[in-house]
A and B are shown apart, each in its own frame.
Chain A
Amino acid sequence: MLLPVQWLKDYIKTDKTARELADGLTLSGSHVESIYSLNKGVENVVLGKIVSIENHPNADKLVICKVDIGEKEVQIVTGAKNFSQGDCVPVALEGTILPGDIVIEKTDFRGVESNGMLCSLKELGYNDNVISKENKDGIFVFNEEFELGSDVADILGLNNEVIELEITPNRPDCLSIIGMAKEASATFNIPVEEPEISISHEEDHISNYLEGIEVESDNCNRYYAKVIKDVKIQESPLWLQRKLMEAGMRPINNIVDITNYVMLEYGEPLHAFDVSKLEGRKIIVRQAKEGETLVTLDNAERKLIDSDLVIADENNPIALAGVMGGLDSEITSETTAVLFEGANFNPKSVRLTAKRYNLRSEASNRFEKGIDPNLASLAVDRCCQLVELIGAGVVVGSSIDVYKEKNEKKTIALRPDRANKLLGLNLSVEKMLDYLNSLGLESVLEEDLIRSTIPTYRLDLDIEADLVEEIGRLYGFHNIESKPLTGVLTRGHKPYEKIIEDQSKSILSGLGYNEVMTYSFISPKAYNKINLPEDSKLRDYIKLINPLGEDYSVMRTTLIPTMMELLSRNYNRGVEIVYAYEIGNTFKPNKDSVDNLPSEEKVLSIGFYGEGDFYSLKETIEILLNRLGIYGTEYIREENNSTFHPGRTAKLLLDGYELGTLGEIHMDVCENYDIKERVYIAQLDFDKIVELTNFEKKYKTLPKYPAMNRDLAVIVDEEVLYGDIKNIVLKHGEELVENVEIFDIYRGNQIPEGKKSIAFSIIYRSYERTLTDNEVNQIQQAIISDLENNLDAKLRS
C-alpha cells in the first residue's frame, strides 16, 4: 500500500515529516517498509511555453524550439515531435541533474546550440507503469495553465514523499488513505477530517437507463448503482492524475480515474460500465455458466467456470465481479452514460477467481480481504461528487441498491483488569477509553465494563482480546516494561531421543564426518537411480498432491538417494574427499493410524568417498554403537541388495533384529550419479539405536595378572570368513581370551590358488591368576584342531 504523504494531509492537519509519520505508524501497527519521493531535490526544471518550432538545417530528425520560460527565451534542440506551438512543457535548464544522474549541459547539435532539455514524465522520475498512454511517448504537455517559469517540481509534486506500508490481512480498511488517516489520527492524537459527501445537482431518473439489478448469487451481498449522463470522456485534471500516480496507479480517463481515486481514498473498489453496452438494460449478478466466455479489459478471452461470480447483462457476462471488467462494456471516448458500481462480493469467491486467472488487481486484493458493505453506497456517491467537481457529466437522479445482509454496528465488552493482566500493564480506565475512542470505537464505562461500539468498517474486531490489542498497540508494545516470568521453578527437558542424537553427532564429528541436511521429499525417479527392484517395499512411498515439480514429489523412504546426490554434487565440483552423515526421517504409509498420518522413522545415513573402505565404514558404526553402549552386533553378508556391491555389503544384526545395511555402492548406481569413485554408505535404524542405547557404565577391576600373546597363521579357502575363525577361537578360549585381532591376509607366493593365509593374534588373560604355558597351549591346540577339522585350515609354519 502506497501512502502519499500530501494526500494523507488532506485529512489530518499536521506538519509532521514523512519520517515522523512513518515511525509512529510503524509502532502502532502499520509497518512502514520504505519512504521515497519521485525525484528528491530536482531543481531548475521550469515550465516553458513553445514559442516556435523550426526544422534543424542539418538533421532531419531534430527540431529547434524557442521556449519562453518567463524571464527569457531559450533555444532547445529536441527529437520529440508530440507538441505544438503554444504548448506548455517541462524544461530542464543547464545544470539540472535528472534521475539516472543525467546532467543537462549546453550542447551543440550539429551546429545548433541547445540550452536545455524538454522532458517526458519518465525523465522526471515517474515509473513507466503509472504513466498514462497519452503521456507514454514524448514530452509531457501540461493540460492546464501555469505561470511561465514556475518550478515543475512543485507543479508535479516531484518532491512529495510516499510511504510504502505493509498492511496486515486483517486490516483491509487500512488499504485506503482515509483508513490510514484514521490510524494516524489515533496514533498522533490529531482529529481526522473526512470529506463531506454531497451531490449538488441531479436530474432525470435512473429507471430511464436501467431496468433493474438482479442479484442471483449468494456471493454478492450488496450492489449499489448510480448513473451519470452527458459524460465527456477526457483526461483528468492534473491534480487528480498526480494523486493517482503518486499512489501507484496509471491515469486512464476522467471516469475511470474517479473510480480509482475513490478506491484509493476509501478502500472500496468500484467499477464503471458504459450504460449503452448493457443489453436488455439490465445488471444481473450471478455465477458464470460453464462454457461462457468473457474478454477482459486486458484483451484476454477467459473461459469461465461456475465458481466465477460475474456481472452480466441480459445475455452475457460483462465483468468478473471484483476482479476485472469486460472489454465490451469498457468506458471509451464514445461513452456518454456511465453506471458506477459499488458492490460487496464474497472474499473467497473473488480470491479464487483472481487466482485462477492470475489476475490479482488493486480491486481483488481489497475484496478478498473483506470490505464493509456500507462503503459501497458511500463510495459511489463520492464518485458522483467528483464527477460534478471536475465536470465530467451530470448525475442522474435516484439509485438502485440491493443490500441483503446489512452490516450493523456491534458492541464488545472489555474488562479493564483483564486488559491490564494480558498486557502486563496498569492503565487507568480513562486511558483505555481514550485509546478506544481515538480509534473511533465509541466506548463508555458501564459499571466495571467498558462497552465499545465498533464502526462497521472494523471487520477485524470481534472479541475482548481484539480490544486489548487496540489498547496495547496505541500504548505501544515497545513501551511495555518487561517483567520476568514468575511461579514454580521448573527445569527444561530435552527428549531422550534428542540426547542420543546429540551424542551420535558428537561421535561422528569426532570421526571426521560432516553433518548434512537434505530435503524430505525426493523424485520417484531416484528409486530407479539407486537400482531398487520394482517390487521393493521402499517403493511404497507417499505422494504429494501438489508437488513443486517431480523432483520434490514423493516423501522419501530411504536416505540413500539424497546422500548419493550430495556426494555426486561434491564429486562433480571437484571435492576430493567427503565424509557425511545425516539423521533424518523416512515416511511410510500407516493403515492403522487414527489420524491418517503416516509413520515417520528416523534413519542414520552415513556416506563417504575419496578415502576409506568397507572396513572404515564398519569401524565407524562399531565405534558409534559401542560408545552408545550397544554391543554384540553381527554382520552377515548381503548379496541381493541391488543398490550395493554384492561382495562388499553386510546386513547389521543385533539379537536377530535388522539394524541396517552397510557397504560399497554398486558401480551401476555410482554411474547413475556420475561418480567415478568407490562410494560407501550405511543406513541404520536410528529409532532402534535410541531404544538400544545404554549409557550405564560399570567399573571392571583392572587386570592384575599378565597377558599372554599367541600369534597364529592359517591357510584357508577364499570362502572362509575371518568371522568364522574368530568364533572358533572364542568358543575354545571362553573367558580366557581377552581379544582376537587379525593382522594380515596374504595371497600369493607359497599359498595355493584359491586360498589365503590369515594371521591373527590371540591375547589370553585371567583376572584371577597368572596363566601357565601349559593351559594356554592346550587351548591353542584345541583351536587349531577345530580350525583344521571344520574350516579345512592348514597351520602355516
Chain B
Amino acid sequence: MKERLREIEELALNRLKDIDDLKELDDLRVKVLGKKGELTAILRDMGKLSAEERPIMGQVANEVRSKIEEGIQSRKDYLSNKEKKAKLEKEKIDITISSNTKILGHRHPLLATIDELEDLFISMGFDVILGPEIETVDNNFDALNSPENHPARDLSDTFYITEDTLLRTHTSPVQIRAMRELGAPLKMVSAGRTFRFDDVDDTHSPMFHQLEGLVVDENISMANLIHTLDIFIKELFGKDMKTRYRPHHFPFTEPSAEVDVSCIKCRGEGCPACNFTGWSMELLGCGMVHPQVLENCGIDSEKYTGFAFGMGIDRITMVKHGINDIRLLFENDNRFLQQF
C-alpha cells in the first residue's frame, strides 16, 4: 500500500511539470485528490489494515496528500504569474500618444501679472484698493499737484467725458481717494486700466495698465522706499536683479526718482535689448509724496511723510514674457492666450 501511495505521489508530481493551464491543473487535482480521486480510493482501503499499520499508513498518506497539494499550489502560482505577465505584456500601449480631451483655460498674461503683483504687495502688508476708470479732473490732476498748464491735461493727451470728468490717465487718483477717505497711516496699492491719447502701434495703446503704491506714515523716508521696491523687484524678476535709482521729476512727488532694473534679458551684462547699458530703463517711477498732495487730501504734511511708486504693467508683462508688440495684449488671439 505504501508503495502505491508513493507511486501516486510520484506520478502526480511528474505530471504537474507538464501542465500548462489552470483548467488542466484543476482536473488533476480532482483526479488525484477529489472525492472520487485515486488517493481517496486508496484511503478507503485503510480500514482493511491492521491497527498497528493504520497510523503508519495514515501518516504516509497525509504526507503524500500534502506533498501533492503543495505541488499543485506551487504550479498554480507559477501558472497564474505567467498568465498575469502575459497579460501585462499584451496590454502594452504607445505612451507617446496624448489624448488632449481635457482643456484648461488660460489666464490673460497681463491680468495674471497684475494678480501676481498685488499678491506680492499684499504679502508685504499693502491693501489692494480699487477705483473707477472715469475720474474727476480734481482727483486725476488738481489734487496731484499737476500744474494747470501741464501738457498732460490737453485734449491731445487725455480723453475727456466732460470738462470735469475724464478717463483716468494713471491709477494715482485712487491714492487721492484713499488718502481722503482713509487718511493716514496708509499702505496701499491700486492697479487697473488707464487711458492716454496715443494711437495704436507696437508700443502704444490708448488703453494700458498701471499699478501704483503708496505708503503714508510718520517717519517714512526715501530709504524705506528703496527697501520696499528692491524687495518687490527681486521677488518679481529674481534675486540677482540690481536696481538703480535716478533723480527724475513728477509733479506729485518731491524728491522724485526713476528706477532702472538690470536688463531682464542679459541680467546686466549688456546686450542689444538694453542698448548695451545693462539696464532696463524706466521700469518704475517713484518718490516722496509732495507735501502739497498730502495737504490736498487733508493729511498733515509735517506729521506724516510718504512714498509713492508706479509702473506700467503692460511693459512689465511684455518684458517678463518677451512680448514685442503691445497690440497682442488686446487682440485676444487664442493662439497667443494659450501660451500663458
A residues sitting closer than 8 Å to B (CB atoms) are 26-29, 31, 34, 168-171, 347-348, 351, 355, 368, 421-425, 460, 463, 465-466, 468-469, 472-473, 477-478, 480-485, 487-495, 497-498, 502, 505, 508-521, 542-548, 552, 555, 566, 569-570, 573, 575, 577-581, 585, 587, 595-598, 600
Contacts and interface: CB of A to CB of B under 8 A. Distances in A.
A518 B221 contact: no
Given A477-B255, A515-B106, A520 B207 contact: yes
A514 B249 contact: no
A597 B106 CA distance: 34
Contacts of A28: 247
The 10 A-B pairs at the shortest CB distance, nearest first, are namely A424-B223, A424-B221, A29-B247, A492-B122, A469-B255, A168-B249, A482-B227, A477-B245, A473-B247, A509-B105
B59 interface: no
A714 B125 CA distance: 62
Interface in B175-211: 185, 187, 193, 195, 197-199, 206-207
B141 interface: no
A545 B248 contact: no
B204 to A, nearest CB: 11
Given A514-B334, A520-B207, A570-B334, A422 B134 contact: no
Contact of A548 (B107, B199, B222, B275): B199
A544 B160 contact: yes
Contacts of A542: 134, 161
B187 A490 contact: yes
B226 interface: yes
Interface string B255-292: 11110000000000000000100000000000010111
Nearest to A507: B105
Contact of B332 (A516, A543, A577): A516
A31 B256 CA distance: 13
Interface string B91-117: 000000000000111111011100100
Interface in B53-80: none
B280 to A, nearest CB: 14
B219 interface: yes
Given A26-B246, A514-B105, A545 B333 contact: no
B206 A29 contact: no
Given A29-B246, A469-B255, A480-B226, A493 B337 contact: no
B52 interface: no
20 contacts: A27-B246, A169-B249, A171-B249, A422-B222, A468-B254, A480-B222, A484-B224, A485-B224, A492-B128, A494-B122, A502-B115, A514-B332, A514-B334, A515-B106, A519-B206, A544-B167, A545-B160, A569-B331, A575-B335, A581-B105
B318 to A, nearest CB: 14
A553 to B, nearest CB: 10
B154 interface: yes
Contacts of B187: 490, 492
A422 B244 CA distance: 19
Given A422-B221, A515-B105, A516-B332, A351 B134 contact: no
A580 B134 contact: no
Contacts of B246: 26-27, 29, 31, 477-478
A545 to B, nearest CB: 4
A469 B115 CA distance: 33
Given A492-B125, A598-B134, A516 B337 contact: yes
A179 to B, nearest CB: 15
A764 B137 CA distance: 63
Given A469-B256, A484-B224, A575-B333, A548 B128 contact: no
A468 B193 CA distance: 33
Contacts of A490: 125, 187
Chain B CB count within 10 A is highest, among A468, A490, A548, for A548
A482 B230 contact: yes
A597 B135 contact: yes
A598 B166 CA distance: 11
B329 interface: yes
A520 B193 contact: yes
B133 interface: yes
A547 B161 CA distance: 9
B136 interface: yes
Contacts of A489: 125
A600 B106 contact: no
Contacts of B149: 347-348, 351
B142 interface: no
B332 A569 contact: yes
Nearest to A477: B245
A548 B207 CA distance: 11
B248 A483 contact: no
Nearest to A468: B255
Given A494-B122, A520-B133, A168 B248 contact: yes
B118 A517 contact: no
B67 to A, nearest CB: 50
Given A477-B246, A596-B165, 11 more contacts: A425-B223, A463-B291, A480-B245, A491-B122, A492-B122, A498-B128, A509-B105, A515-B111, A548-B206, A569-B332, A597-B132
B156 interface: yes
A570 B155 contact: no
A552 B206 contact: yes
Chain B CB count within 10 A is highest, among A34, A351, A472, for A472
A466 B248 CA distance: 12
Given A477-B222, A495-B128, A422 B105 contact: no
A512 B103 contact: yes
A569 B207 CA distance: 19
B50 interface: no
Contacts of B154: 355
A465 B290 contact: yes
Contacts of B155: 545-546
A491 B125 contact: yes
A597 B228 CA distance: 34
A577 B103 CA distance: 11
B129 interface: yes
A168 B258 CA distance: 11
A319 B12 CA distance: 126
Contact of A424 (B111, B224, B249): B224
Given A169-B249, A351-B151, A422-B222, A578 B134 contact: no
A515 B161 contact: no
Contact of A517 (B159, B161, B248, B330): B330
A490 B337 CA distance: 36
Contacts of A510: 104-105
Contacts of B133: 520, 585, 587, 600
Contacts of B111: 515, 517
Contacts of B245: 477-478, 480
Nearest to B159: A544
Given A423-B222, A518-B330, A570-B333, A466 B254 contact: yes
A257 B161 CA distance: 46
Contact of B130 (A466, A495, A521, A552): A495
Chain B CB count within 10 A is highest, among A29, A468, A579, for A29
Contacts of B244: 27, 478
A15 B158 CA distance: 46
A597 B248 contact: no
Nearest to B244: A478
A472 B128 contact: no
A353 B29 CA distance: 113
B309 interface: no
A390 to B, nearest CB: 38
B305 A422 contact: yes
Contacts of B1: none
Contacts of A521: 159, 167, 206-207
B258 A31 contact: yes
B323 interface: no
A433 B248 CA distance: 22
B227 to A, nearest CB: 4
B166 to A, nearest CB: 9
